A and B are shown apart, each in its own frame.
Chain A
Amino acid sequence: MSTRLDIKVHHLTRVEGHGDIVVNMTDGVLEKARLEIVEAPRYFEAMLKGRSFLETAIITSRICGICSLGHQMTSFKATEQALGLEVSEQTLLLRKLLVHGATMQSNVLHALFLAAPDFLKVGSVFPLVASHPDVVKAALRMKRLANDIAEVVSGRAVHPISCVPGGFTALPTAAALRELKRRLEEQMVPDLAFAAETVAALAAEIPGFTRDTEYISLRSDDDYALYDGDICSSDEGRVPVAEYRRMTNEHVVSHSTSKHCRVNRSSYMVGALARWNNNHDRLCPAALEVAGKLGLAPGCNNPFLNTIAQIVESVHCALDSVAVIDELLTRGIRDEQPHQEPTRHGTGVGATEVPRGILYHEYTYDRKGLVVAANCVIPTGQNLANIDDDMRKLVPEVLDRPEPEIAHLLEMLVRAYDPCISCSVHMLDVKFVR
């Protein structure tokens, strides 16, 4: 068994900055096991100062082209709370549909393009195309349908257009919604079932690592909370969204330009697995059935099963999307105008679940509806400390394996979190430091 280990997996970014996995062990003592992220600050919070409340969501949605919709929704909620803007039931339903679409798309692409190749022990999705072409085609079909949900409801697949504070500037037709419903039932649901079967066959390949962890997500009385709810910690229960700063505690660390977060322990996890642990009782029966088949049980503390939780909740999202569309069609689409006359000015906090975890936006507006201060806490940032803690437990457990295998396992661990290291685009460059 090796008592000395020096691993550095170096991810170069295409724009600037980098993310490295670094492990140092001497004489059997683990000195360092962490994900070091260095990326240039992007100044979004500073950019928002002085901007109108009509612009905030447009700007913050550009934080990321993949998580764009989530940023918009969270931004609207913060603005609407700060300025006292009511939203209608129809707006809530349409936003829930959008959130379901974004969740399904992101989860499916992560599970099948990023994580599944790990379970299949192939280097990337490209060998998957040869060995499992039907799964890749299903993933692309699901992505397309999720894009179309965004296009029908919000006017565009990336960076929604018709969503504004207080409502929508354009509404989908009943016919378009009916067509989405048909495709969800006839295509998305079977495709998800197929994806779940494929992953179930690979379940034995998922590393059996566990670590006692605090899980933080939204929780709601009404539904499986994605768009709305209170903050919920597996350690302390429900907490009002207004207390989000206490539930994140962003602090600077020496080895990363990204801040780390902690609440009741040295770290916590957000994302699909956190949502599963806190809210499995709100999932529809079909999703629970898939969870059973995939070996996902309540109180799961294996971060590698985050991918499984993504598939399970996607099944729920597909079926709940149908239910939401049914409700919209029963009510009839009403030609409503967005409510954009502020009834107060002050501070508002929005919290939603984006695919990678709980996202917070807080804004303070002045009487003219201009931003005075802004704060955004991104899910991937909240997971960084947890990734470090996982690595610190995992490395000593696998010391007897060859170094390349340890490095690969650590990369798999990082991938399991579905990190979106904002838009510092990364190029993989693997080096072993001796």
Chain B
Amino acid sequence: MGNPFCGDDGVGAAVLERIRAEGLFPGAELIDAGTDALSLLDRFAETGAAERLHIIIDAAKMGCEPGRVVGFAPAEARRRIVWDRLSLHGLGLAEAFALAEGLGAMPRRVVVVGVEPTEVRMDRGLSDAVAAAVPEVIRLIRAEVRADEADHTGH
């Protein structure tokens, strides 16, 4: 998720580009959802989606140093709904998860991979700290996929 025209908010798109360029995770569906968090609900509603592993990469203000990468389940984070309710702009991940949970539409496993931004403002390109974090994001995704495969095949 995220807007590549807002500096470090483009980290999700940058990770996706690296995955595509290097042909990583061949069995995965790669989706650039941009800033449309509500579209996650469409994804979750697709046939078979409930059973799959969903990994969401986004810039996230976590109170860490810029470039820090943290993987977490939505339930592990305390959620603050900040949507202003004037329009559908501003309906973000927290709101999308709240809706999905309320509707019983959350898939079996969702992991958010957050990357602490240096700055989110109108600008092309990632800061050095966040650009340097891309390999770490991919490493974390790889670990999540492996862990999930191990859990899943164990059942």
In the assembled complex, B72 has its CB within 8 A of some CB on chain A: no
In the assembled complex, A415 has its CB within 8 A of some CB on chain B: yes
In the assembled complex, A414 has its CB within 8 A of some CB on chain B: yes
What are the residues of chain A within 8 A of B38 when measuring CB–CB? 143
CB of B53, distance to nearest CB on chain A (Å): 22
Please report the C-alpha to C-alpha distance between residue A129 and residue B99 in the assembled complex, in whole angstroms: 7
CB of B88, distance to nearest CB on chain A (Å): 6
In the assembled complex, B86 has its CB within 8 A of some CB on chain A: yes
The answer on a CB contact under 8 Å between B45 and A140 is yes
The answer on a CB contact under 8 Å between B88 and A144 is no
In the assembled complex, A388 has its CB within 8 A of some CB on chain B: no
In the assembled complex, A66 has its CB within 8 A of some CB on chain B: yes
Our pick among B85, B98, B99 for the contact of A114 (Cβ within 8 Å) is: B85
What are the residues of chain A within 8 A of B103 when measuring CB–CB? 129, 133, 136-137, 140
- From 21 to 58 in chain B, residues with beta carbon under 8 angstroms from any chain A beta carbon are 34-36, 38, 41-42, 45
Most-contacted residue by chain A among B35, B82, B84, B102 (CB, 10 A): B84
Please report the C-alpha to C-alpha distance between residue A109 and residue B86 in the assembled complex, in whole angstroms: 12
Find the B residue at minimum CB distance from A157. B39
The answer on a CB contact under 8 Å between A11 and B42 is no
What are the residues of chain B within 8 A of A110 when measuring CB–CB? 88
The answer on a CB contact under 8 Å between A147 and B102 is no
In the assembled complex, B89 has its CB within 8 A of some CB on chain A: yes
Find the B residue at minimum CB distance from A106. B88
What are the residues of chain A within 8 A of B122 when measuring CB–CB? 15
The answer on a CB contact under 8 Å between B86 and A421 is yes
CB of A154, distance to nearest CB on chain B (Å): 16
What are the residues of chain B within 8 A of A421 when measuring CB–CB? 86-87, 89
- From 79 to 138 in chain B, residues with beta carbon under 8 angstroms from any chain A beta carbon are 81-90, 95, 98-99, 102-103, 122
The answer on a CB contact under 8 Å between B89 and A420 is yes
Report how many A-B pairs have Cβ atoms within 8 Å: 78
Find the A residue at minimum CB distance from B99. A129
In the assembled complex, A432 has its CB within 8 A of some CB on chain B: no
The answer on a CB contact under 8 Å between A126 and B102 is yes
Please report the C-alpha to C-alpha distance between residue A137 and residue B102 in the assembled complex, in whole angstroms: 11
- From 407 to 424 in chain A, residues with beta carbon under 8 angstroms from any chain B beta carbon are 414-415, 418-421, 423
Q: Mark A95-133, 1 if CB is under 8 A from B, else 0.
A: 000000000000001100110010000001110011001
What are the residues of chain A within 8 A of B95 when measuring CB–CB? 126
Number of contacting residues on B, CB 8 A? Answer: 23
A124 and B89 in contact (CB under 8 A), knowing A129-B103, A144-B42?
Answer: no
What are the residues of chain A within 8 A of B41 when measuring CB–CB? 140
Most-contacted residue by chain A among B81, B83, B85, B122 (CB, 10 A): B85
What are the residues of chain B within 8 A of A14 when measuring CB–CB? 90
The answer on a CB contact under 8 Å between B82 and A428 is yes
CB of B83, distance to nearest CB on chain A (Å): 7
Please report the C-alpha to C-alpha distance between residue A126 and residue B90 in the assembled complex, in whole angstroms: 15
The answer on a CB contact under 8 Å between B88 and A109 is yes
The answer on a CB contact under 8 Å between B85 and A124 is yes
Please report the C-alpha to C-alpha distance between residue A110 and residue B103 in the assembled complex, in whole angstroms: 19
A66 and B102 in contact (CB under 8 A), knowing A11-B84, A427-B84?
Answer: no
Please report the C-alpha to C-alpha distance between residue A419 and residue B87 in the assembled complex, in whole angstroms: 7
What are the residues of chain B within 8 A of A147 when measuring CB–CB? 42
Find the B residue at minimum CB distance from A141. B45
In the assembled complex, A19 has its CB within 8 A of some CB on chain B: yes
Please report the C-alpha to C-alpha distance between residue A14 and residue B121 in the assembled complex, in whole angstroms: 10
What are the residues of chain B within 8 A of A117 when measuring CB–CB? 85
The answer on a CB contact under 8 Å between A114 and B45 is no
What are the residues of chain B within 8 A of A426 when measuring CB–CB? 84, 86-87, 89-90
B residues with a Cβ closer than 8 A to A are 34-36, 38, 41-42, 45, 81-90, 95, 98-99, 102-103, 122
Q: List 13 A-B contacts (CB under 8 A).
A: A65-B35, A124-B81, A126-B98, A126-B102, A136-B99, A136-B102, A136-B103, A426-B84, A426-B86, A426-B89, A427-B84, A428-B83, A428-B86
A residues with a Cβ closer than 8 A to B are 11, 14-15, 19, 65-66, 109-110, 113-114, 117, 124-126, 129-130, 133, 136-137, 140, 143-144, 147, 158, 414-415, 418-421, 423, 425-428
Given A125-B99, A126-B95, 7 new contacts (CB under 8 A): A15-B122, A133-B102, A133-B103, A144-B45, A415-B86, A418-B87, A426-B89
The 7 closest A-B pairs by CB, nearest first: A129-B102, A428-B84, A426-B84, A425-B89, A425-B90, A427-B82, A420-B87
